[in-house]
Structure 1
Amino acid sequence: MTRQKYLQLIHIAAQHLKLDDATYRQLLHRLTGKTSAKTLNIGQLAQVLNALKAKGFRIQPTKPTTKKQTDRPQIQKIQALWQAMADDGIVRDASAKALAHFVKRETGCDSPYWLDNPQASQVIEKLKQWQKRVARSTSC
């Protein structure tokens, strides 16, 4: 577990156990000799977290996302546009890797699945514009 995750869990545990600031700092001092979790090393952070668990804190598992990333309509649209462009010969490589490369170049995101809504809209519009440009140049 990372240092940041330990700090996060310790602060959540203190809130969950309703420890006021003075009690929380006394606990830290009693266990580690320090009064701030920021100054603790990983071993000391684990020690504090274990003590909080002994007082009744339980780490709740994160809730799984109910929606798959591919269920997002914008992602489906991006994939459909990319496939249609590949079928029309506009895109040479229809692979997900090639799409990811395009998305990276346009938005800086490594994967279409990581796009937020405005970025996904931007990618959709870029793909549509690309399709229109090719359609105009072949109709002349």
Structure 2
Amino acid sequence: MSRLPLGETKSRTHAALAKIHIAKKELGLDDATYRAMLQSVAGVSSSKDLSDAGVTRVLAHLQRCGWKPKAAAKVGKKPSVGRGRQALVGKVEALLAEAKRPWCYAEAMAKRMFGVEKVDWLEPEQLVKLVAALSYDAKRHGRQG
């Protein structure tokens, strides 16, 4: 069995103890019942005294008692859509200004291309496609895109 760095072991233990306390709450165990269960299942009176094997036994017992652990939420980096959308809308605006066309031209393109009434309502992927279409139009008419 490989040894884990102290911090990793501590965070795993902390997570396991958190699961035990969540199960205690969800099953509605009072403190006396909870401590009696710890004593009978793992031979300790407090969860902080549990070994790794004891944690596993307690969690298995709580699941047999009807506790269903919830799947962990998928955590990721929050996308920075705001800045990206602003940059794309700025590019649309620049391409329209260069072509001396009004905003209603871009909105008509959005309606034709995506069935969306307003440029503001476009998803980032759709904005990219709109910028590409306006750039293509600029090159076709001899302007930089």
Flag the structure with more relative contact order, 1 or 2, with Cα contacts below 8 A and sequence separation at least 6. Answer: 1
Q: When the two structures are superposed, what TM-score results if normalisation uses the length of structure 1?
A: 0.48
Q: When the two structures are superposed, what TM-score results if normalisation uses the length of structure 2?
A: 0.46
Structure number with larger C-alpha Rg:
2
